[in-house]
Structure 1
């Protein structure tokens, strides 16, 4: 079963602020793109300077990190001859350096990307990466997908200090990619499948699908999948799904004005009553009380800061 049709493209280019001068780094854009076979690439939504014709390539003034979690395509730059890109590859674009990349026309790909710049990144990336070899074969990694998801959430909200939060996430992500690439420790074929399963669960948290569907999508029998998943994560697939749902519920209760009914519907609970029962059984408090407590603490913090 393929869940990719449920994924929504999200492309966000961001304003910079005084944080750039304080932290010596800034993030210009972040996004997720699911490119279907025969789709035009890149899709609409990128401002002038960031869109390009893959046949002609382009030069930009910032670093960009692109991570492919599905499909395949190709990459080339002025310093790197054309190379095939497959699922689980990340590649780095350097400022001021001509490059081009695109998914295979008959296959497509799913990509995360982040565009960033600053003195810190100049020094770090020129020490730990090579212009002749900007591709990292890191495999599917749930932690990296989680970092990209956090950046997308942060870019949507654009709360005070969001640039510093984004920069911190990127620094962590670069360290993780460097470590995996250095040690080539993205694991056995089974471990890769478990990482893929974790990514599928995370990316389709709003959709109705079961552990059996996941097993099918990664070409494993359900009994093998369940056993391997429990060995890898310490809990059964269903429990893992519920943990992620609980985390997402807390996020929606604390950071949005969505009603309890709407949150229940969004996360595919059969009713608002069952949703409230589930939340209370996991946290000891009902969803409205949780939201009020968050609001109370938020107001207290605001008073204390004046």
Structure 2
């Protein structure tokens, strides 16, 4: 059962200003509402020039303002309400193509997912707008060179990394770590039935204490907290987007009974599952 509609990049082709197999460029102008939350198979960057409204990403509301960039990874759930004066530019990147330039993000994906909205100085906005516009022009060219588009998306990732570097307290603690990227992938696959840190440490061929140390140093959370956060996010999705009973959701997420799940959910959200569903 699909929790939220999952939209493929091809479904946006009719609104594109420019695009090819792996990339799509479009613009946002004026009032626009996404009434029903959905998720994407692709990576999305939204560069706002003039804007107002609210962007909800994984159940958290972010105020939309001028000179911001919003970052969405595949499978993140989002919706928004954009005001009438909105001007924005969207760059959609197919997952396969995203993987090619993603190493240019110097910080863990977990950081960007926890902080998906970055406010930009006028200078940085101008730099990013230049790259967005250059990508649009290249995509419009019948003799489009994929290597040029790749290079410009890599530049965008590097500019964003530079912006993040300005706000993190300790660059070394937040730099991207291959094991953390793999850990996030493993949690996404196994969190429903594997709650123990030792399982993930074994999959990564490191000790449990070492995995805990890496997470605390670089993400400032424990591996257990990462697993719990992923479980809570999935629980919210199931409660809001399906008709499954709380008991069914409990078993789907690997809990032995619904009271245990309800206590776990309330401990982390302040609401029991029924309250969250009807809120």
Larger radius of gyration: 1
TM range (shorter): 0.3 to 0.5
Q: TM-score, normalised by structure 1?
A: 0.43
